[in-house]
């Protein structure tokens, strides 16, 4: 019996040795095939088994990029970087090498490696966090950014500059031009014959330049590397971001790619740290509306909503409220998607739908953190609306946004989401509707005459301003302005934006309507106007009389 047992063990050991030998032979054949492939391509071959790779060399390529492309940087000597790739002919690998060469000012030498060799070397990434966090080689240099800014005097210079820079410098040049042109977004859109580049300046898109379609794949690869996106995913949208650190400012660049008929298109949103810290008085609120909102923000509980379409400045308004409320004795927690700006002293939480962390679930959790002020990035469903309303009734000041056209429309919207009327009426403090209009450039501002039809329309709207608002208009001396266009405003005639608002505050009449069976936003608006609410159009025309914006701009945005 014992002899049989020993024979069985010996048999198992033999089989294991045989399997190991077969694996060894298979791997050896694989390495030999890769060697032959290297000779065909005329490049080097290396087996990275047992090869020591330092973390400072390994992390020249981010781990996610290494996974996607099956590449490893394994050696750096002086001005030479050696990189191993399972497929060195892949266009994304070639783009990566070109970017590394430009960013690190080094000669990048490709080697072909086997999949097994890659797997062995890739394991070194597991030890990197334990040693030190290294900065990836592909980045936008602050020095290059400042150099380009010195060479660009206006956005019209960008098209010329693009013809003289390398492919790896195109993105740096476009970001520098965006900063000079005060652009919030860079749109790079693949078309049939070329690639269109546009800047969104003060909310309006302007075409800046066109890139040859032949260069697009390398440009999009660089953008993906910067934003830590997957290079080999071209048929699905992706979102990422990267940060540029200047001496006096930090710029977060939020990046979104979208597959289109002629290739991927990209939008990069520039979030400047200097945009944070806007105060309540800087928003453009005026008169009674400013006084009312200043009072409401200081209340210990209740709900304040800002409404308007995407891009109307709602989040900026909420941040201005938070800036005023941000004191050492106040616990402020926010739920945002995404977090656009980081505010010192404020606990900001990022919503992640893919991880089942929604506004509703996040709001339930943060209420257990004993906050004084809660900011919810957006109320988009009944569950979030109900929790936010209950929070406003239980000792919290709740700030949030809602997508409605005007202030009065927010109330029927919340009721439609399922909020109980008897809860909503006492919970609401104020609703602010807003839009953004372009400011007239003060360097080229000049008087302008309105045509008879427009002037009649303007006078009718201004005469409807309620007496209770405290606003007074001299109808005998109406004066309006426009921008002629100059170098300071890039010949546009506008420079910067300002908000136009209507601020609705709760009163007993509006509460009665909410509690009634028939809620009409028209009735709510009429009551608010009798109480002194100035509408967005009226507020815009008052700003036009002050020389801040034009009548056409107000009518285009608010009517």
Among the residue ranges 53-67, 143-157, 424-438, the one predicted with the least confidence is 143-157
CA distances (Å), origin 397, targets 195, 326, 389: 48, 13, 10
What CATH architecture is 142-270? 2-Layer Sandwich (3.30)
* Phi, psi angle pair for 81, to nearest 5°: -120, 130
Summarised one tens digit per residue, pLDDT across range 439-457 is: 999 999 999 999 999 999 9
Summarised one tens digit per residue, pLDDT across range 461-472 is: 999 999 999 899
Q: Write down the mean pLDDT value for the chain.
A: 88
Q: What is the DSSP string of 62-94?
A: -HHHHHHHTEEEEEEETTEEEEEES-TT-HHHH
Answer whether 157's CB lies under 8 Å from 490's CB: no
Pairwise CA distance, residues 41 & 59, whole Å? 27
Per-residue model confidence (pLDDT) at position 230? 87
Pairwise CA distance, residues 517 & 523, whole Å? 13
Q: How large is the average pLDDT for residues 35-48? A: 92
Q: How large is the average pLDDT for residues 32-51? A: 91
Burial class (CB in 10 A: 0-12, 13-18, 19+), 67: middle
Among the residue ranges 17-26, 199-208, 311-320, the one predicted with the least confidence is 17-26
Looking at domain 280-558, does it have CATH number 3.40.50.10090? no
Per-residue model confidence (pLDDT) at position 191? 92
Q: How large is the average pLDDT for residues 69-97? A: 91
Per-residue model confidence (pLDDT) at position 441? 95
In this predicted structure, the answer to whether residue 318 has a pLDDT above a threshold of 80 is: yes
Confidence of residue 158 (pLDDT cuts 50, 70, 90): confident
> 3-class DSSP state for residue 372?
coil
Answer whether 556's CB lies under 8 Å from 435's CB: no
Per-residue model confidence (pLDDT) at position 231? 85
Burial class (CB in 10 A: 0-12, 13-18, 19+), 398: buried
Per-residue model confidence (pLDDT) at position 153? 74
Pairwise CA distance, residues 312 & 309, whole Å? 6
For CATH 3.30.300.160, list the domain ranges present in the chain.
30-131
To the nearest whole percent, how much of the chain has pLDDT over 90?
57
Q: How large is the average pLDDT for residues 341-355? A: 87
Report the 3 state secondary structure along 504-535: EECCHHHHHHHHCCCCCHHHHHHHHHHCCCCC
Pairwise CA distance, residues 251 & 274, whole Å? 9
In this predicted structure, the answer to whether residue 458 has a pLDDT above a threshold of 80 is: yes
Answer whether 155's CB lies under 8 Å from 180's CB: yes
Confidence of residue 136 (pLDDT cuts 50, 70, 90): very low
Q: How large is the average pLDDT for residues 148-170? A: 80
In this predicted structure, the answer to whether residue 268 has a pLDDT above a threshold of 60 is: yes
Q: How large is the average pLDDT for residues 37-56? A: 90
Confidence of residue 134 (pLDDT cuts 50, 70, 90): very low
Per-residue model confidence (pLDDT) at position 429? 96
For CATH 3.30.450.90, list the domain ranges present in the chain.
142-270
Confidence of residue 135 (pLDDT cuts 50, 70, 90): very low
Among the residue ranges 84-88, 334-338, 405-409, the one predicted with the least confidence is 334-338
Pairwise CA distance, residues 24 & 46, whole Å? 17
Summarised one tens digit per residue, pLDDT across range 389-434 is: 999 999 999 999 999 999 999 999 999 999 999 999 999 999 999 9
Pairwise CA distance, residues 305 & 504, whole Å? 10
Q: pTM here?
A: 0.79
Other CB atoms closer than 10 Å to residue 338's CB: what's the count?
Answer: 13
**CATH T-level assignment (fold) for domain 30-131:** GMP Synthetase; Chain A, domain 3 (3.30.300)
Provide the angle, in degrees to the nearest 10, between the axes of the packed helices 551-558 and 536-545. 170
In this predicted structure, the answer to whether residue 137 has a pLDDT above a threshold of 50 is: no
Answer whether 419's CB lies under 8 Å from 407's CB: no
Greater model confidence, 113 or 165: 113
Give me the residues paired with residue 437 across strands: 498
> What's the distance, Cα to Cα, between the start and end of the chain in Å?
97
Summarised one tens digit per residue, pLDDT across range 482-494 is: 999 998 888 899 9
Answer whether 359's CB lies under 8 Å from 335's CB: yes
Confidence of residue 437 (pLDDT cuts 50, 70, 90): very high
In this predicted structure, the answer to whether residue 7 has a pLDDT above a threshold of 70 is: no
Per-residue model confidence (pLDDT) at position 497? 92
Q: How large is the average pLDDT for residues 179-197? A: 91
Radius of gyration (C-alpha) of the chain in whole angstroms: 30
Pairwise CA distance, residues 45 & 48, whole Å? 10
In this predicted structure, the answer to whether residue 22 has a pLDDT above a threshold of 80 is: no
Summarised one tens digit per residue, pLDDT across range 378-390 is: 999 999 999 999 9
To the nearest whole percent, how much of the chain has pLDDT over 70?
93
Answer whether 210's CB lies under 8 Å from 230's CB: no
């Amino acid at each position: 019996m014992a002899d049989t047992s020993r024979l069985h063990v010996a048999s198992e050991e033999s089989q294991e040795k045989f399997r190991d030998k077969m694996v060894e032979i298979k791997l050896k054949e694989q390495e030999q095939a890769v060697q032959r492939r290297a000779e065909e391509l005329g490049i080097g071959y290396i087996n990275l088994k047992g090869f020591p790779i330092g973390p400072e060399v390994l992390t020249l390529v981010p781990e996610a990029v290494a996974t996607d492309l099956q590449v490893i940087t394994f050696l750096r000597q002086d001005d030479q970087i050696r990189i191993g790739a399972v497929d060195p002919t892949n266009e994304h690998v070639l783009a990566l090498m070109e970017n590394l060469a430009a960013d690190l000012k080094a000669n990048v030498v490709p080697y072909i490696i086997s999949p097994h060799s890659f797997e062995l070397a890739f394991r070194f990434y597991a030890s990197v966090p334990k040693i030190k966090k290294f900065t990836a080689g592909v980045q936008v240099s602050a020095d290059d950014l400042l150099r380009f800014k010195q060479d660009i005097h206006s956005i019209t210079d960008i098209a010329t500059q693009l013809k003289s820079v390398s492919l790896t410098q195109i993105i740096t040049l476009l970001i520098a031009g965006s900063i000079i042109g005060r652009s919030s977004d860079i749109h790079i859109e693949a078309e049939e014959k070329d690639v269109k580049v546009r800047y969104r300046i003060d909310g309006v898109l302007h075409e800046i330049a066109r890139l040859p379609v032949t260069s697009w794949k390398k440009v999009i690869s660089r953008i993906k590397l910067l934003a830590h996106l997957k290079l080999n995913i071209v048929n699905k949208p992706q979102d990422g971001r990267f940060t540029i650190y200047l001496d006096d400012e930090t710029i977060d660049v939020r990046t979104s790619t979208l597959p289109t008929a002629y290739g991927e298109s990209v939008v990069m949103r520039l979030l400047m740290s200097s945009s944070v810290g806007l105060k309540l008085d800087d928003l453009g609120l005026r008169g009674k509306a400013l006084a009312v909102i200043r009072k409401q923000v200081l209340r210990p509980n209740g709900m304040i909503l800002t409404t308007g379409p995407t891009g109307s400045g709602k989040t900026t308004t909420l941040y201005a409220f938070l800036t005023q409320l941000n004191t050492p004795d106040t616990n402020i927690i926010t739920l945002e998607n995404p977090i656009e700006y980081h505010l010192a002293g404020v606990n900001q939480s990022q919503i992640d739908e893919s991880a089942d962390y929604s506004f509703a679930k996040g709001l339930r959790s943060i209420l257990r953190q004993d906050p004084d002020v809660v900011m919810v990035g957006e109320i988009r469903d009944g569950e979030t609306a109900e929790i936010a309303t209950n929070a406003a009734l239980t000792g919290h000041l709740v700030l949030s946004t809602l997508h409605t056209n005007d202030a009065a429309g927010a109330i029927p919207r919340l009721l439609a989401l399922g909020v109980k009327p008897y809860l909503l009426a006492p919970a609401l403090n104020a609703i602010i509707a807003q839009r953004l209009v372009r400011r007239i450039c003060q360097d080229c501002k000049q008087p302008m005459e309105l045509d008879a039809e427009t002037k009649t329309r303007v006078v009718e709207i201004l005469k409807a301003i309620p007496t209770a608002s405290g606003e007074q208009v001299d109808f005998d001396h109406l004066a309006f302005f426009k921008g002629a266009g100059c170098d300071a405003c890039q010949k546009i005639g506008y420079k910067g934006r300002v908000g136009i608002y209507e601020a609705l505050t709760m009163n007993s009449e509006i509460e009665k309507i909410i509690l009634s069976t028939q809620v009409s936003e028209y009735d709510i608006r009429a009551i608010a106007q009798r109480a002194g609410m100035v509408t967005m159009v009226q507020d815009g025309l008052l700003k036009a009389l002050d020389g801040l914006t034009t009548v056409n701009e107000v009518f285009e945005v608010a009517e």
